[in-house]
């Protein structure tokens, strides 16, 4: 065998004289349309389409709208009835006193009872509020039809009228309260309980989700729709004396609102309350506001919620 002389200097010279290796073609640049995601398994980038990016941006804007709603009600719940989509919620699982929202159930039981609406009922001493000692324009001895009693109970939240409706139910007041609770169970209102028909007792309690079910059921009764959305109503009581009553929800006077069912309520334990079924840009929306602070704060919250729904609809159309 022959040995070939070898030196480090010779190797260096050989390497220097050798032709350079051909480099690979440059990889094509990859551009992403922000935002993009990376799968954890294979770390492959996934690019969003323009529509996906817009939806993500809309979602962020919607969250910002909700955060900035700044409602003054302790409890708020807003739901699209057709799709069952919850549009807004705040403490939506809480069970609270509902004050005169109770009267929606009172009216629903009467409306479904089949009792004659033209039957005349009289206010008696038993109908006087001995719980909160609230005032009433219906003096003892006033006589009105069952329909008018329901009208005033719903539109003006007349406690004596509501109590008279329950007292004149077959079996009396106890049977009427049982009928209220039976109807609540039939509607699936599992967190609701009634002890009397006016809402003056703080033991009348419900949850926002239950009250949406009550609104939906009440909306099927034409009388409840009419009586809760009338702006004003006059009745004659004793010796031709006429009394004019107004709606406790001033939004029914506003032509910009399309309200299907409305009821307000207040006792100290419940705070200012408002429930409504209204149409907002062709969407049938249920609004529940409980324990709002300040006399007009529930109205302000309703307006803020309407603005929120309208802006949300605008985002959805982008």
Known catalytic residues are 100, 103, 157
Q: What is d(CA 305, CA 90) in angstroms, rounded to the nearest whole number?
A: 12
Candidates 135, 145, 137, 132; CA nearest to 196 is 132
Phi-psi region of 290 (alpha: psi -120 to 50; beta: other; left: phi over 0): beta
CA atoms within 13 A on the CB side of 147: 11
Q: How far apart are CA 149 and CA 153, in angstroms?
A: 6
Q: Six-digit token pair at 154?
A: 């719903």
Task: Look up residue 206 and give its two tokens.
Answer: 């419900």
Q: Which DSSP symbol is given to 143?
A: E
The whole-angstrom separation of Cα 159 and Cα 191 is 24
Q: What is the dihedral of CA 289, 290, 292, 298, to 10 degrees?
A: 30
Phi, psi of 144 (to 5 degrees): -140, 160
Tokens of 112: 């479904």
Contact assessment for residue 160 and residue 127, using Cβ atoms and an 8 Å cutoff: yes
Q: How far apart are CA 228 and CA 111, in angstroms?
A: 13
């Amino acid at each position: 065998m022959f040995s070939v002389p070898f030196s480090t200097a010779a190797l260096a010279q050989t390497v220097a004289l050798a032709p350079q290796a051909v480099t690979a073609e440059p990889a094509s640049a990859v551009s992403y349309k922000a935002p993009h995601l990376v799968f954890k398994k294979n770390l492959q980038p996934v690019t969003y389409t323009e529509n996906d990016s817009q939806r993500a941006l809309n979602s962020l804007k919607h969250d910002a709208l909700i955060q900035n709603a700044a409602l003054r009600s302790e409890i708020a719940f807003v739901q699209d009835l057709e799709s069952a989509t919850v549009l807004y919620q705040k403490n939506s699982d809480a069970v609270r006193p509902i004050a005169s929202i109770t009267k929606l159930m009172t009216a629903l039981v009467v409306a479904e009872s089949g009792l004659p609406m033209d039957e005349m009922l009289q206010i008696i001493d038993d109908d006087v509020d001995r719980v909160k000692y609230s005032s009433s324009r219906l003096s003892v001895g006033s006589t009105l039809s069952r329909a008018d009693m329901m009208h005033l109970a719903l539109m003006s939240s007349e406690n004596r009228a509501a109590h008279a409706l329950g007292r004149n139910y077959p079996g009396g007041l106890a049977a009427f309260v049982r009928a209220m609770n039976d109807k609540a169970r039939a509607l699936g209102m599992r967190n609701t309980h009634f002890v009397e028909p006016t809402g003056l007792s703080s033991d009348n309690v419900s949850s926002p989700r239950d009250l949406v079910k009550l609104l939906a059921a009440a909306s099927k009764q034409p009388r409840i729709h009419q009586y809760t959305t009338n702006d004003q109503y006059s009745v004659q009581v004793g010796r031709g004396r006429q009394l004019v009553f107004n709606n406790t929800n001033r939004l029914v006077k506003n032509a910009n609102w399309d309200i299907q069912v409305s009821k307000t309520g207040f006792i100290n334990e419940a705070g200012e309350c408002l429930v409504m079924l209204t149409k907002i840009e062709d969407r049938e929306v249920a609004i529940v506001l409980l324990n709002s602070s300040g006399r007009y704060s529930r109205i302000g919250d309703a307006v803020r919620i309407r603005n929120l729904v309208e802006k949300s609809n605008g985002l959805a159309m982008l």
